[in-house]
Structures are given as C-alpha cells and as structure tokens.
A and B are shown apart, each in its own frame.
Chain A
Amino acid sequence: MKKIILLVLVVISGYSGFSQNKTPGKINRFTDLTVAAGSGRGTAAFSYVHNWELGKKQKWEAGFGARLTSYFGSKQEHTTAPARLARGTTVPFAVVFAPQKSENWDTLTVQRPWSNALNLSVNFGYNFTDQWSAGFNIDLAGFTLGRKTAAILTSNGITTTEPAAKPSAFNLLLTGDLDHGSLNSEFFLKYKLNSRWGIRAVYQFYFSEYKTATAKQVAPDGTLVTRFRQKGNNLGAGLAYHF
C-alpha cells in the first residue's frame, strides 16, 4: 500500500516538475470523430482538443478538451458498481490495482443501451515525427443523457425484470471503481495525412453506468445497490481535423 502511494507521489511530482520546467509553446487544436466497437456494442465520439506543445523539442503535448460520446448496443452486461463491493479497497488510485471482489457482483443485462455523455477531458501526447504521434486521453467530469430501457438483474441465479434502467446522469473520474457515470478513455496512434487531417487507431476503455428503479441488488452488508457498470474494451478509428 505504502509503495503504491509512494509511486503515485513520484509520478505526480514528476509531472509537476516537468510542467514547471517547460514553457508552453505552440498550440495544437483539433476536432476528432472516432468510432469504436466491442462485442455487441459501439461508440461514436466527437471531441475538441486544445493541447500545448511542451519541452525543448516540443515533442510532448498536454491539454484539455470536451468530448461527446454516444454509446449503444444490445444486451450489455453491467456489474455491481460501488467500489466498496466491487473492489478490495476504496482508496483513490490504489483501487485500480486492488483485487476484484467478484463474489459481490450481480449482473444487470441492459437490453438496448443508448446514452450520450458530454465530458471535459484531459489529453496527453508525444510526437515521434511530424506525422506520427501517440497519446492518451480520459474524461474527467460531465453529464449523460439517454433513454430508459428494459434490463434483467441476475442475482445468485435469480432473474428479475427492471422495466426502466437509465444511464447515470452525472459523470466523475475518481479512479477505477470509484468513478461515477459514463467515462471514455483512449490510447491512440495517430498519423497526420497533411497539415489539416489526421487518422487515428484507437484502443478505447469505456465505462458505462446504468441505474435501476425497481430491481435492486441486496448487498452482503444489507444495503441496496442500484448502480451497475460496464468496463468495455473497444477498438476503433478516428479522423481528426486540425485548426
């Protein structure tokens, strides 16, 4: 545990030191449309990114943006969301590496999910050459709108109907299973076709969260659970336009 906290502190101090030493340089602004797909599901994301190029050689870049992600699918399984039930710890950052407590998980099969999440995002990138770059981005906070849909809650082999599951309204990145709502994150490799256009190959990790109205999981501690989350691995492609 101490090692993990120490590692986090080292990483944070490294980033802050990095940002203090480098003066912000050229601005890299672009919009991006990315489509990604996983098993029985897909996403379409439109984003705006405002990055500052950093470092002596301006190889690094970091910045903020906004992203609208539309998520859709069929019969998508979501499992118990609260971190105190889903994971071995509720300590921020450490929760990412904590063992899963799958014995506490129930499954909510959302029949026809469709949600639209608008979030602020943070972006990091490294430019290998003028044409090739790679990076990472993740949603920070925002809100979600989406339709209600039927779902089936399976708890210890017993199935019950949830007539109107709906996406959680608010999104907040708190790391791992502490997160709330629908959050998009991507690792990508980018190739710039010219000064304006670029294409991206994307590995997407998408958190989708649905809440139930009537069907509730009774947790081992007696509490009622209405939040269920899917952590989906998707692959996709993007098209970027630089200003």
Chain B
Amino acid sequence: MQDSLIIFKTKKSTYMKKLLTWSIPLLVLFTACKKEKTNTSVVSMDPVDTTAQLAYRSVFTDGPYGTTMGVAKIFKKNNNYSLVLDSFSVNSGPDLHVYLSKERQPVNFIDLGVLRNTNGTQVYTISGMPDFMEYKFALIHCQAFDHLFGSANFY
C-alpha cells in the first residue's frame, strides 16, 4: 500500500517536472518576437538605376551611438524618389532603421524600413513625395532604444 503511494507520488513529481521543463521553452517560443535583422556578414551591392536623376547628396557623419561612413543620395525618376546608401558602412546595432527626418535627432520622420546591411550599396524606395527642404536628414537610427548611429544632411 505504502509502495503504491510512493510510486504514485513519484509519478506526480515526474509529471510536474515535465510540465515545468516544457513550459519554459514554450514561453520563449511564444514570446520570441519577429526580429528584423540587419545583415552584417556580406557586402550589399544593390543595383542603382543609372537613368535616374540625382537630386540630393550628402556624406554621412557619426552619431552619438555609431560610426557611419558613406554617401546618402536621393534619386528621382518619374516623380518617384529613392534613397541610395553608397559605399556605406556602419557598426552593427539592434533594430537599425533608415529614416528621412526633419531633425537630426528624429522627432518627425519617415521610416524607410530596416537597414538591410551594415556594408555596401543599398537602395530604399521613398513612398510619396516628401518635401526635402523639411525632411533634410537621412538617418541610421536604432528604433528600439531611440539611438542615433549616423546622419546625412541634404541642406
């Protein structure tokens, strides 16, 4: 009788351990957010449309949280704008995004998306027709922590 009670308790204990063992990885699995990662291993070589007209150009300077090099270029073709990061490099960081911004430390901005690569030439489509007198900065910005990695001023 006592033996069967011990076996029963051991089974329950094993069951509890299994439950706890499975609950932790399941929680991690459920809470794992979609990380939009910037590629750091290969150099990007996006093709640039050579028929588009160069509208603005500026050299990147470092931000307080990053070292950024390269040239930001705004190209225009058939009333469509695109931002080209030419000969570009930045140190890696979490959640890096490409912004067009009214301010160097972004308050009012247009998010062009996640920075796809920390090195090389990249092209980002600009939706709409922003006024570049207002949106005069191209930024590399860590969105999660609100940290500026680099900026280029078109004016």
Same complex origin of A and B: yes
Residues of chain A whose beta carbon lies under 8 Å from any beta carbon of chain B: 35, 37-38, 40-42, 72-75, 111-112, 150, 152, 158-161, 163, 193-194, 197, 199, 215, 235, 237, 239
Residue of B nearest to A37 (CB): B30
Q: Determine which of A35, A40, A112, A237 lies in contact with B34 in the assembled complex, contact meaning CB atoms within 8 Å.
A: A40
Distance of A38 Cα from B16 Cα, bound (Å): 24
Instruction: Please give, as numbers and ranges, the residues of chain A lying within 8 Å of B33 by CB-CB distance.
Output: 40, 73-75
Distance of A75 Cα from B95 Cα, bound (Å): 11
Instruction: Please give, as numbers and ranges, the residues of chain A lying within 8 Å of B16 by CB-CB distance.
Output: 193, 197
Distance of A72 Cα from B106 Cα, bound (Å): 25
Q: Determine which of A74, A193, A194 lies in contact with B144 in the assembled complex, contact meaning CB atoms within 8 Å.
A: A74
Besides A37-B26, A111-B145, 5 more A-B contacts (Cβ < 8 Å) are A42-B31, A150-B145, A152-B143, A197-B12, A215-B107
Residue of A nearest to B22 (CB): A237
Are A150's CB and B143's CB within 8 A? yes
Q: Does B111 contact A (CB under 8 A)?
A: yes
- Minimal beta-carbon separation of B131 from chain A (angstroms): 13
Residue of A nearest to B9 (CB): A194
Are A160's CB and B143's CB within 8 A? no
Distance of A178 Cα from B27 Cα, bound (Å): 31
Are A112's CB and B144's CB within 8 A? yes
CB < 8 Å A-B pair total: 61
Q: Determine which of B23, B109, B145 lies in contact with A159 in the assembled complex, contact meaning CB atoms within 8 Å.
A: B109
Q: Does B46 contact A (CB under 8 A)?
A: no
Instruction: Please give, as numbers and ranges, the residues of chain A lying within 8 Å of B15 by CB-CB distance.
Output: 193
Residue of B nearest to A72 (CB): B31
Distance of A73 Cα from B12 Cα, bound (Å): 33
Known: A42-B31, A159-B111, A161-B107. A193 touches B23 (CB 8 A): no
Instruction: Please give, as numbers and ranges, the residues of chain A lying within 8 Å of B27 by CB-CB distance.
Output: 35, 37, 42
- Minimal beta-carbon separation of A110 from chain B (angstroms): 10
Are B12's CB and A161's CB within 8 A? no
Please, could you name 23 A-B residue pairs with CB atoms under 8 Å apart, sorted by A?
Answer: A35-B23, A35-B27, A37-B31, A42-B31, A72-B31, A73-B31, A75-B33, A75-B144, A111-B143, A112-B145, A150-B146, A152-B111, A152-B143, A159-B109, A159-B110, A160-B107, A160-B108, A160-B109, A161-B146, A194-B12, A237-B23, A237-B26, A239-B19
